[in-house]
Amino acid sequence: MRRDARTALARHIYARHIAHAAAPDETGLRSALEAALETIPRERFLPPGPWHLARLSGGYVRTPDDDPVYLYQDVPVAIRPDRHLNNGQPSFLVGLIARGRPERGMQMVHVGTGTGYYTALLARLAGEQGRVLGIEHDPDLAAFAADALAGMPQVRIVAGDGAAMALPPADLVLVNAGAARPAESWLDALTVGGRLILPLTAGKRPGTPITRGAVFLIERRDERAYAARCLSPTLIYPCAGARDPEAEQALARALAAGGQDNVRMLYRTDALPDDRCWLRGPGWCLAYG
C-alpha cells in the first residue's frame, strides 16, 4: 500500500476513535468531529519527522522514520521536546472542544493555539460562516500556525498574550493552557450562552513545566452570572499571561482541599460568604451555588 493511502486509512480510523471518545452519546456532534478530523493532516501542524511521541510514564519515544502513520494515535506529539511542549492528547482536547458544543457559524477564540492543529478543528466545525481567532504567546509558533492555516479564510492567528488582549464577542473560548485564574477578557468576550473551557492549574509535574489541576466549563447566563462545573483533572502547559503567585497559592489550597466537583457558579464578585466559595480572587469567585 502506498504511503499516502496508508496515511489516509490511518487518519480515517483515528478520526472514528477520537470522535467516539470525545462524544460517545451525541450522534450529530460525533459525526461532525469525525468528518472534521478526517480532513486535517496532523503532520501539517508538526515539525518534520521523525517525531517524538509522549508516554504517560514520562519522556518520549522517537518514531522510526517520518511516516505520518505514526501520528494517528491517541498520544501527544512533541512540538518542542526540550520544553515539554506538545501537540496535546487528541481524545482529551477534542473532548474539551465537544463540551463547548461547537456549531457551524459560531464565533470562537482559541487561546494557546500552538501550531494550529486544534484551531483547524475548531475552524472545520465553525464552517466558512464562522470565525476563529487563534492566539499564541510564542511568536515563532504563531507564525508556524498562520502558515499551516493559510488555506482557511475563517481563521485569524495573532501573536500575543491571550489573557491581556481584548477579544471579539465569542460563542466559545477554548483556553489550551493552564491558568491560575480566569482572565477578565475571557469572561467579557462570552456572549450570553457562550462557553469558556478553562483549565485551572497550580504546581508542576516534577522535572517539567507541566502544571496540574482541573478543567472547568463556564457558561454565561447573563451580564454577571456564569454557570460553572468541573469537567476533569488535567496536566497541561502553563498559560504565561494568567498566572501570579497569589492566585497560584489560593488555587493550590483549593485543589488540595477538594470540592471542585461541587462548583456550580462563577460570580464576578468576591463578596460571597466563605462557605459558598470554592475559590476566590479579586472580583470573582467559583461558588457551590
**pLDDT computed for residue 224 by the predictor:** 76
Buried b (16+ CB within 10 A) or exposed e, 171-210: bbbbbbbbbbbbbebbbebbeeebbbbbbbbbeeeeeeeb
Amino acid letter, 279: L
CA dist., res. 139 & res. 159, Å (int)? 5
- Per-position pLDDT tens, the chain of length 289: 798 999 999 999 999 999 999 999 999 999 999 999 999 999 999 999 999 999 987 889 999 999 999 999 999 999 999 988 999 999 999 999 999 999 999 999 999 999 999 999 999 999 999 999 999 999 999 999 999 999 999 999 999 999 999 999 999 999 999 999 999 999 999 999 999 999 999 988 888 889 999 999 999 998 778 999 999 999 999 998 899 999 999 999 999 999 999 999 999 999 999 999 999 999 999 999 7
pTM across the whole model: 0.95
**pLDDT computed for residue 223 by the predictor:** 77
Q: Give me the sheet containing 265-267, strands edge to edge.
A: 155-159, 131-136, 107-111, 170-175, 190-204, 211-220, 225-236, 265-267, 284-287, 277-281
* Grid cell in block for residue 98: 465537544
* Grid cell in block for residue 266: 462563577
Q: What are phi and psi of 113, to 5 degrees?
A: -65, -25
Among 182, 169, 199, smallest CA distance to 108 is for 169
**pLDDT computed for residue 181 by the predictor:** 96
DSSP string, 204-258: E-TTSS-EEEEEEEEEE-SSSEEEEEEEEEEEE-B-GGG--HHHHHHHHHHHHH-
Q: How many other CB atoms sit within 10 Å of the CB of residue 54? A: 19
Among 135, 112, 113, 140, smallest CA distance to 47 is for 140
Q: Give me the sheet containing 85-87, strands edge to edge.
A: 60-62, 52-54, 77-80, 85-87
Q: Provide the 8-state DSSP code for 96.
A: H
CA dist., res. 4 & res. 13, Å (int)? 14
Domains of the chain: 79-287 (3.40.50.150)
**pLDDT computed for residue 208 by the predictor:** 85
* Grid cell in block for residue 25: 452519546
**pLDDT computed for residue 161 by the predictor:** 96
